[in-house]
Amino acid sequence: MQKQPLLLLGPVMPYLLEELEKRYAVEKLYEEKDALGFLKEHALRFKAAATSTFTGLKADMIDLLPALEIVSSFGVGTDSLDVTYAAKKGIRVANTPDVLNEDTANMAITLLLAATRDIVANDRFVRKGRWAKGETPPLAQGIEGKRVGLVGLGRIGSVVAGKLLAFGCDVVYHTRNKKPDVSYKYYDNLVEMARDCAVLIAILPGGDATRGVISREVLQALGPEGTFVNVARGTVVDETALVELLQSGELGRAGLDVFVDEPNVPEALFALENVVLQPHMGSATVETRKAMADRVVSNLENYFAAK
Ligand code: A2R
């Protein structure tokens, strides 16, 4: 039987490419020298496309694919996908939630511990021979008994909350809607929550609706003893304010996995010892990335099996 055509909008991990190629006649749009010309000639062949949160799917691409029925995206975030426009055109958009909850939550916990315990700064301290010279690093900060505020308490945030309980933290949260089924204290005012917390962890979607919700005022309320962890999207925080407050010491520490203009990170952060930086690795383990790839495939299969 002839394989159904599938348009791959951007590069994906080799395992996912192999799995897609087993089932579909995959055409790599990103390898076409004249992508527009290719689409003009071939667009009507594609009912299915695959993309990722890194590549995205914009309205102008949707307009170029009039036969499209489903787009299966690698990643949970939908901020790079024009879901509203796709829905208007009757196109299904599928993502890969849930399978990355544990590893993304583990990244939040890792960044929290790394930042509060000065792990990276102290690693540099040892490597530079400063310990051997008889120097002593400053004392770090504990998290037991501390209040940790989650900005977002969805699939990933709930897992972070459960893990924080094991560290003896007092978990509180801020979302747009109070969750009826959780016992953690709810704050409808984010500045107030930041004022009451030692740590703030951002785990909410990116995009225009959440741009800058972690404002200068919120970070100032968190204060010089406070730690900010971001495993959501760079856009949810006022990054300029974040950098300035970390430089001035008005904000104590940060653990950051995401940035506004990835892969570009504000260079001012490179000089700071109170920041731990990661290149957007929240879901980036062998196990989770495979599970996400399997979800991209099963989302397509389920659609075409009318499930
Ligand atoms: O606001 P609510 O009640 O819909 O709660 C959602 C919360 N949220 C917000 N919290 C505060 N201010 C906002 N403007 C705001 N908008 C949404 O974020 C909910 O508690 C949480 C999102 O949960 P889920 O949809 O289950 O997302 P999941 O799977 O936890 O992933 C969150 C994000 C992804 O979109 C990626 O950007 C990143 O984590 O990996």
Report the distance separating Cα 307 and Cα 294, nearest Å: 16
Tokens found for residue 276: 């731990």
Mean pLDDT computed over every residue of the chain: 98
Note the pLDDT of residue 1: 81
User: What is the percent of the chain where pLDDT is above 70?
Assistant: 100
Note the pLDDT of residue 152: 98
Catalytic residue chosen out of the listed positions 233, 253, 289, 295: 233
Q: Please say if the pLDDT value at position 52 is more than 90.
A: yes
Quote the pTM value: 0.97
Q: Where are the domains of the chain?
A: 4-99+287-304, 101-277
CB atoms within 10 A of CB 152: 23
Q: Do domains 4-99+287-304 and 101-277 have the same CATH topology?
A: yes
- How far, in Å, is the centroid of ligand 1 from the Cα of 206? 8
Per-residue b or e along 53-91, where b marks 16 or more CB atoms closer than 10 Å to that residue's CB: bebbbeeebbebbeebebbbbbbbbbbbbbbebbeeeeb
Q: Is 174 a catalytic residue?
A: no
Q: CA neighbours within 13 Å on the CB side: how many for 128? A: 11
Catalytic residue chosen out of the listed positions 253, 280, 289, 295: 280
Mean pLDDT, to the nearest integer, of 116-120?
A: 98
Residue 5 pairs in a beta bridge with: 25
Q: Please say if the pLDDT value at position 307 is more than 90.
A: no
Mean pLDDT, to the nearest integer, of 42-55?
A: 97
- How far, in Å, is the centroid of ligand 1 from the Cα of 208? 13
**For the CA of 205, the nearest atom of ligand 1:** 35
Mean pLDDT, to the nearest integer, of 255-260?
A: 98
Spell out the alpha helix ranges (H) of 2-133.
14-23, 35-42, 59-63, 83-88, 101-116, 119-127
Q: What is the CATH number of domain 4-99+287-304?
A: 3.40.50.720
Q: Is 42 a catalytic residue?
A: no
Ligand 1 binding pocket includes 207 (Cβ within 6 Å): no
Mean pLDDT, to the nearest integer, of 174-182?
A: 97
Q: What is the CATH number of domain 101-277?
A: 3.40.50.720
pLDDT band at 157 (very low <50, low <70, confident <90, very high): very high
Q: Please say if the pLDDT value at position 172 is more than 90.
A: yes
Tens-digit pLDDT profile for residues 239-248: 999 999 999 9
Mean pLDDT, to the nearest integer, of 183-204?
A: 98
Q: Is 233 a catalytic residue?
A: yes
